């Protein structure tokens, strides 16, 4: 599952975090994702999700300082799964320099990843820039160069399906290909599909969904994904 959580200090009035926290926790209790990839989460939101969902461990660093400051692309993993490796990198010419943003975007942009033992799958959770197309293009190129199959690339891409930057993911499967349903609604209107789950060619998928519950300014998206046996790849 992927969900742009909307940062917890946003001045959203009746939609602010304090008013929707319980709905988020209830949604996660109902849907029970094995892996939850979030964008825009602040450290206190991550801690509250962990407190309400002790079955999860979380992976990820704050984009501002590589520790706790700023938004995270946190990945929550059910404790029944084994994390072999994990990391965070920045979309810049200096991907391991916390806070770096060399590609014209005003804000640092990051990807957090986890490599699971069983299923043998690597998950990349990203949040691309909302303003700068050049940054989005370079970010997709970087993720392509770093992605290890079988894998899933998910998150808030901040671009609609016809954006040419997405063509750089050719060979990957958009699990909701052809859908015209929006994933971003901005609280009061249905606007655009900018959140995605992409699976590498050696991953099968089913049950792709956009969840209509208004628990953030984005809808959550989810799919069941399974690496194919090596003989079938």
> Given this model, what pLDDT does residue 189 score?
84
- Give the CATH number of the domain where residue 194 resides: 3.60.10.10
For residue 190, name the pLDDT band (cuts at 50, 70, 90).
confident
**Whether 58 contacts 41, CB under 8 Å:** no
pTM (global) more than 0.85: yes
pLDDT at 232: 61
The pLDDT of residue 172: 98
* Residues whose CB falls within 8 Å of the CB of residue 193, separated by 6 or more in sequence, listed in order: 160, 161, 176, 179, 180, 181, 182, 183, 184
On average, the pLDDT of the chain sits at: 97
Token couple for 121: 């799958």
Q: What is the mean pLDDT of residues 74-92?
A: 98
Task: Report the number of distinct structural domains present in the chain.
Answer: 1
Contact 75, 123 (CB under 8 A): yes
Range 184-193 average pLDDT: 92
**What's 101's DSSP letter?**
-
Write out pLDDT tens, residues 114-167.
999 999 999 999 999 999 999 999 999 999 999 999 999 999 999 999 999 999
pLDDT tens readout for residues 55-72: 999 999 999 999 999 999
Q: Per-residue pLDDT tens for 14-55?
A: 999 999 999 999 999 999 999 999 999 999 999 999 999 999
3-state secondary structure of 41: strand
**Percent of the chain, pLDDT > 90?**
95
In residues, how long is the chain?
233
Q: What is the pLDDT of residue 231?
A: 63
SS3 154: strand
Q: Which domain holds residue 76?
A: 2-232
Q: What is the DSSP string of 42-88?
A: -HHHHHHHHHH-TTEEEE--BTTTSSSSS-B--EEEETTSPEEEEEE
């Amino acid at each position: 599952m992927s969900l742009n959580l909307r940062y917890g200090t946003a001045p959203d009035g009746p939609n602010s975090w304090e008013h929707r926290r319980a709905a988020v926790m209830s949604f996660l209790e109902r849907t029970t994702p094995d892996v939850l990839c979030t964008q825009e989460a602040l450290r206190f939101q991550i801690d509250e999700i962990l407190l309400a969902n002790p079955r999860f461990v979380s992976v990820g660093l704050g984009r501002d300082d590589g520790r706790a400051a700023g938004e995270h692309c946190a990945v929550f993993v059910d404790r029944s799964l084994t994390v072999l490796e994990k990391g965070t990198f920045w979309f810049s010419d200096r991907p391991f320099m916390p806070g770096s943003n060399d590609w014209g975007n005003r804000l640092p942009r990051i990807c957090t990843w986890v490599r699971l033992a069983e299923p043998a799958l690597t998950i990349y959770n990203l949040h691309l820039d909302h303003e700068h197309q050049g940054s989005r293009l370079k970010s997709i190129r970087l993720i392509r160069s770093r992605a290890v199959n079988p894998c899933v690339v998910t998150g808030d891409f901040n671009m609609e399906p016809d954006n040419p930057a997405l063509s750089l993911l050719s060979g990957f499967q958009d699990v909701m290909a052809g859908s015209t349903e929006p994933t971003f609604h901005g609280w009061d209107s249905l606007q655009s599909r900018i959140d995605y789950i992409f699976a590498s060619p050696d991953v099968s998928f089913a049950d792709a969904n956009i969840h209509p519950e208004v628990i953030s300014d984005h809808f959550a998206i989810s799919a069941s994904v399974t690496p194919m046996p090596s003989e079938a790849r």
